[in-house]
């Protein structure tokens, strides 16, 4: 239901864009159904375009086999490992180049006779962020300059903020902000990711295991990738906050009002922060919760485990910047620690290994070039 609502919303946005930016004629203005169906937009690659993707994909596959010294025929290639190898190039590619790489990789993976094709395509749709945590593109909310917000939330500030919200007059927005503060700090979801989050309970003899899944709406429906956080060890208060955020977000999204509610919650957060932290140079926003969660988890887990929890790998430059000041809370202050899915950790470890090897080779080539000058 939620996926359908988001899909319909995105179709409406695209239809509006086509009306504003494409010369479709006066008839298109009256044919809203046609616009929603995709008229004026290429929904599938043309044969020549697809042939170009496939050609580049074959070239990528040849590079992959050469780099890893693979002598096996193409039909014996594991498409999942190939997908991870391709993903290792994302951090050094522009957005446009990466889109072409992904299309090319998907095209050639479709030609490999393997039972893991859909899983490999799903990996390419995970869109792990490396060095930049932009997630899906967004419009800055009221009172927020894109990227200009506090990326560290002091523990005492968080406690003061929660208490200030509790002291507010009861309202639906206050209720939403209270749950967003707790759920966001303990799970690190990007604000827009709550739209596609859902809870799964798995019964065992000794109790139940509780998972928070976050779906990445990219690719075809059967190829949607997701990451998972085990929140079984959370306190009942934290679990309830997460469950309420999931329920609220599902309701908002179903009625196409998620952006409206996010804006109202962000505005209330901003006004509370202005009241209790009037001298702060950079404001706290809903994104601040995510960055503090990443810093906290980096003090408890290896980077591939943090990446599995957050779908984000901080760059070396950002890590050096944070060394000037301890970004994470003390161990006894981090009350809720979710666990990543082992399978996703293993997959990301392989991907980061490819990326590290590629960066090492690049650095050696640059050093050799400098020595020849």
Question: Could you tell me which residues are beta bridge partners of residue 120?
Answer: none
Q: What is the pLDDT of residue 11?
A: 60
Residues 203 and 111 in one domain: no
Give the integer Cα–Cα distance in Å for 183 and 289.
9
Say if 145 falls within a structural domain.
no
Query: The tokens of 21 are what?
Result: 């930016």
pTM, entire model: 0.74
Residues 109 and 164 in one domain: no
| 373 residues of the chain, pLDDT tens digit each | 656 666 566 666 666 655 665 555 555 545 555 544 544 444 456 777 888 889 999 999 998 898 888 888 888 898 888 888 888 777 667 777 878 888 899 999 999 988 888 888 877 876 555 545 544 444 455 444 455 888 899 999 999 999 999 999 999 999 999 999 999 999 999 998 999 899 999 888 777 899 999 987 554 444 456 789 999 999 999 999 999 999 999 999 888 899 999 999 999 999 999 999 998 888 999 999 999 999 999 999 998 999 899 988 765 444 444 445 678 899 899 999 999 999 889 888 887 888 777 777 778 878 888 887 7
Say if 349 falls within a structural domain.
no
Residues 24 and 125 in one domain: yes
What's phi and psi for 262, nearest 5 deg? -60, -40
Total domains in the fold of the chain = 2
Residues 108 and 182 in one domain: no
Give the integer Cα–Cα distance in Å for 141 and 288.
14
Residues 329 and 202 in one domain: yes
Look at the alpha carbons of 331, 337, 342, 343 in this order and tell me if their dihedral is positive or negative. negative
DSSP secondary structure of 285-319: -HHHHHHHHHHHHHTTS-HHHHHHHHSEE--HHHH
Residues 170 and 256 in one domain: yes
Query: The tokens of 170 are what?
Result: 């009861």
Q: What is the pLDDT of residue 22?
A: 55
Q: Which helix (H) or strand (E) holds 58?
A: helix 47-67
**Contacts for 348-352: CB closer than 8 Å, 24+ residues apart:** 348/128, 348/304, 348/307, 348/308, 349/304, 350/81, 350/84, 351/84, 351/87, 351/88, 351/128, 352/88, 352/303, 352/304, 352/307, 352/313
Answer whether 168's CB lies under 8 Å from 353's CB.
Answer: no
Answer whether 285's CB lies under 8 Å from 271's CB.
Answer: no
Residues 119 and 161 in one domain: no
Say if 325 falls within a structural domain.
yes
Give the integer Cα–Cα distance in Å for 234 and 242.
10
Say if 361 falls within a structural domain.
no
Residues 205 and 323 in one domain: yes
Give the integer Cα–Cα distance in Å for 67 and 339.
34
Say if 8 falls within a structural domain.
yes
Q: What is the pLDDT of residue 227?
A: 87
Say if 352 falls within a structural domain.
no
Residues 120 and 161 in one domain: no
Burial of 126 (0-12, 13-18, 19+ CB in 10 A): buried
Q: Residue 235: which domain range?
A: 155-340
Q: Please report, for residues 139, 170, 174, 370, the alpha-carbon distance to residue 162 in angstroms, rounded to integers and kept in the order given.
A: 26, 14, 11, 54
DSSP secondary structure of 326-362: --SPPGGG-----EE-HHHHHHHHHHHHHHHHHHHHH
Residues 66 and 168 in one domain: no
CATH number at residue 318: 1.10.443.10
Residues 99 and 185 in one domain: no
Give the integer Cα–Cα distance in Å for 246 and 183.
9
Question: Could you tell me which residues are beta bridge partners of residue 12?
Answer: none
Say if 100 falls within a structural domain.
yes
Residues 193 and 287 in one domain: yes
Burial of 262 (0-12, 13-18, 19+ CB in 10 A): buried
Say if 359 falls within a structural domain.
no
Q: What is the pLDDT of residue 1?
A: 61
């Amino acid at each position: 239901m939620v996926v359908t609502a988001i899909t319909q919303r995105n179709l409406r946005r695209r239809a509006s864009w086509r009306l504003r930016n494409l010369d479709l004629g006066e008839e298109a203005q009256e044919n809203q159904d046609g616009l929603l169906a995709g008229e004026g937009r290429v929904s599938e690659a043309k044969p020549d375009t697809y042939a170009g993707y496939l050609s580049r994909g074959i070239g990528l596959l040849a590079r992959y086999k050469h780099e890893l010294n693979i002598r096996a025929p193409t039909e014996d290639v594991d498409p999942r490992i190939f997908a991870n190898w391709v993903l290792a190039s994302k951090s050094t590619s522009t957005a446009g180049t990466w889109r072409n790489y992904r299309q090319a990789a998907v095209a050639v993976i479709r030609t490999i006779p393997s039972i893991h094709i859909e899983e490999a395509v799903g990996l390419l749709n995970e869109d792990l962020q490396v060095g930049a945590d932009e997630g899906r593109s967004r419009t800055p909310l009221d009172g927020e300059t894109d990227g200009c917000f506090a990326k560290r939330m002091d523990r005492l500030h968080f406690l003061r903020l929660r208490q200030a919200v509790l002291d507010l007059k009861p309202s639906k927005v206050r209720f939403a902000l209270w749950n967003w503060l707790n759920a966001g700090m303990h799970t690190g979801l990007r604000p827009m990711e709550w739209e596609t989050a859902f809870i799964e309970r798995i019964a065992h003899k000794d109790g139940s295991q509780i998972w928070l899944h976050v779906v990445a709406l990219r690719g075809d429906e059967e190829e949607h990738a997701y990451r998972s956080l085990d929140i079984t060890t959370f306190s009942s208060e934290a679990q309830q906050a997460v469950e309420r955020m999931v329920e609220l977000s599902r309701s908002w999204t179903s009625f196409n009002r998620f952006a409206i509610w996010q804006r109202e919650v962000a505005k209330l957060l901003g006004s509370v922060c202005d009241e209790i932290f009037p001298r702060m140079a950079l404001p706290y926003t809903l994104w601040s919760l995510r960055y503090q969660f990443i810093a906290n988890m980096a003090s408890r887990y290896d980077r591939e485990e943090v990446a599995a929890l957050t779908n984000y790998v901080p760059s070396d430059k950002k890590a050096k910047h944070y060394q000037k000041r301890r970004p994470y809370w003390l161990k006894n202050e981090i009350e809720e620690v979710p666990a990543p899915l082992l399978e996703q950790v293993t997959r990301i470890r392989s991907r980061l290994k490819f990326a590290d090897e590629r960066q090492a080779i690049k650095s050696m080539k640059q050093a050799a070039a400098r020595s020849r000058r």
